[in-house]
Chains A and B, each alone.
Chain A
Amino acid sequence: MTLSLSKDTVQVVKEQDVVFLKNRVKEVALKIKMGLVNQTRLLTATSELVRNMMRYADGGVCIIEVVSSGRINGVRLTFSDKGPGIPDIAAAMRDGFSTGKSLGLGLPGTKRLVNEFDIKSKVGEGTVVTILKWANG
């Protein structure tokens, strides 16, 4: 049972918004005393997902939440966009698969960096990616 303690919504449309979002995520991670390595993992994951959102969907919204499950706290991020959606999620989650010109590490790599990862997408409607990183997990 995870409980949401705080909620903050950040719009990401321009490149400056990306910097702002990363700073906000870092602030929240520091507030719950997340370790340095986990902070780096979380911020790298944020960087990957926000890039996807910018590249494939012209931006979107990120919800930053502090969540608690009893004694441990964590940060949950929900990235939602109204882009073209992903037709084959299983393929997108495979290492080395990319419809752009990238390395295809973004989604599978992000999944390895966080504790919980969820992706939902509908072609023509958009994509929602949710990640959760515990302060020390």
Chain B
Amino acid sequence: MDKIPILRMGAYLLVTIQVDLYDRLALNLEADLVQMVNKTNAKGVLIDISAVSIVDSFMGRIIGNIAGMCKILDAETVVVGMQPAVAITLIELGLPLKGVHTALDMEKGMNLLKSIIDITEDDVVQDETADDFITE
């Protein structure tokens, strides 16, 4: 079964989706990511969807869910790199992704995250045993 890797970088989690999502994969990502936020005490989640060419209502809902779930775990989510055609399709479909922060690219997304999150040193868990990936 495919799995989308979740990388930890300080108080942030980075997810780069390199394949076209199918339903099961998206649901697994949602579960893994929320677990990971809880485990690592992450304050921000950056999801790069630049390689995703199709986002339908189901995937859109998952993205919204992830943002909502992370929010109540006190983490902000930024979705970056959406292809213009995907943005057009989402709006026509009737899914404006309300409540999800977006940015054009990784760099802008990271800056946005930094600006909305106020990080103090003790928020970052230092002693995790180098498990940047979820391995189950």
Interface, chain A (partner B; CB < 8 A): 15, 18-19, 22, 36-37, 39-41, 43-44, 47-48, 51, 95, 102-103, 105-106, 108-110, 112-113
Contact = CB atoms under 8 A, between A and B. Distances in A.
B53 A105 contact: no
B130 interface: no
Contact of A48 (B56, B83, B85, B88): B56
B101 to A, nearest CB: 20
A102 B58 CA distance: 8
Contacts of B83: 40
A15 B22 CA distance: 9
Given A18-B22, A37-B85, A43 B92 contact: no
B93 A112 contact: yes
Contacts of B61: 102-103
B55 A44 contact: yes
Interface residues of B, number: 21
Nearest to A54: B23
A51 B56 contact: yes
A109 B54 contact: no
Secondary structure of the A contact surface, majority rule: helix
B94 to A, nearest CB: 5
Contacts of B86: 40
Given A105-B95, A113-B93, A43 B57 contact: no
Interface string B52-89: 01111110010000000000000000000001111011
Contacts of A36: 85
A51 B89 contact: no
Contacts of B23: 15, 51
B22 A19 contact: yes
11 contacts: A22-B20, A36-B85, A37-B85, A39-B85, A47-B58, A48-B93, A103-B57, A105-B57, A109-B92, A109-B95, A112-B93
